[in-house]
Amino acid sequence: MIDLQGVSKTYGSASDPVHALRPTDLALASGQVYGLLGFSGAGKSTLLRLINLLEAPSSGRVILDGQDLTGLAPADLRQARQQVGMIFQQFNLLSSRTAIENVAFALEVAGVSSAQRRERSREALAAVGLSDKEAAFPAQLSGGQKQRVAIARALAMRPKILLSDEATSALDPHTALSILRLLKQLNRERGMTMVVVTHDIKVASYLCEQSVVLERGAVVDRIDMRHPQPVSRLGKFFFETARGWTDQTELPQEDA
């Protein structure tokens, strides 16, 4: 479903380049949930934004469901992007719009008719358990509810792929788990392929079949989460943190 071929991203100038993502090959199968683990600055968000070409790659090709997005004209790219939904740590809702208006807005931009917008927005809010909050503004919702609206906004577009960038990082453990359960349910019921950026190994262990570990813009580990056998220092560190830290816990980078 997601095929990255030699994809890289370099920011900055030729004299002072920032290699946010080194050339990377990654093939992610349909209907699976993948984790993207790494420390701050490792390139996780960059990789995620390359998948739907919110970020133009410096090299390589991005192929989604057999379609090469890299060479598309802007109008075709906008169309192709509709198969990819995205959710964020800070929810990114429009504060001046109600829950249902937030959900409908994405459909409006995509040119969906007004009657269809209403029906699909209602359906999406019902799918995340927020039918009673249609008229609420973001400021009147809890963090978990805001994230549910953001998920509904993505769902309304009926995406094949859902990208999640630290979607539960700002939430307490109880609320985080309820959101993760919702994502798992959506994956099972709709077969949506998901890529979940996190630095919390609990999130990856609960939700993901496989995880990729990024360090300084390079993939250093690919881990089967059902039988995890990390080979990199960083991969091992992530699993150690799940058991709790001690004075003996080795830091993968001494300057971290």
Ligand X SMILES: Nc1ncnc2c1ncn2[C@@H]1O[C@H](COP(=O)(O)OP(=O)(O)OP(=O)(O)O)[C@@H](O)[C@H]1O
Residues that bind ligand X (CB under 6 A): 11, 18, 20, 38, 40-46
43 binds, among ligand X, Mg ion, none (CB under 5 to 8 A by kind): ligand X
Binds Mg ion by CB under 5 A, chosen from 8, 24, 45, 187 = 45
CB nearer to ligand X: pick between 44 and 120:
44
Q: How far is the CB of 45 from Mg ion (least distance, A)?
A: 3
Task: State the residue for tokens 């420390």.
Answer: 39
Residue 146: Cβ within 10 Å count: 24
Q: Give how many residues touch Mg ion by CB under 5 A.
A: 1
Residue 180 contacts residue 207 (beta carbons within 8 Å): yes
251 binds, among ligand X, Mg ion, none (CB under 5 to 8 A by kind): none
Residues 6+ apart with CB under 8 A from 15: none
Rounded to 5 degrees, φ, ψ at 39 are -75, 170
What are the residue ranges of helices labelled H in the chain?
Answer: 44-51, 74-81, 99-109, 114-127, 143-155, 173-190, 201-207, 233-242
168 binds, among Mg ion, ligand X, none (CB under 5 to 8 A by kind): none
CB nearer to ligand X: pick between 49 and 81:
49
CB nearer to ligand X: pick between 38 and 144:
38
- Contacts with Mg ion by CB under 5 A lie at 45
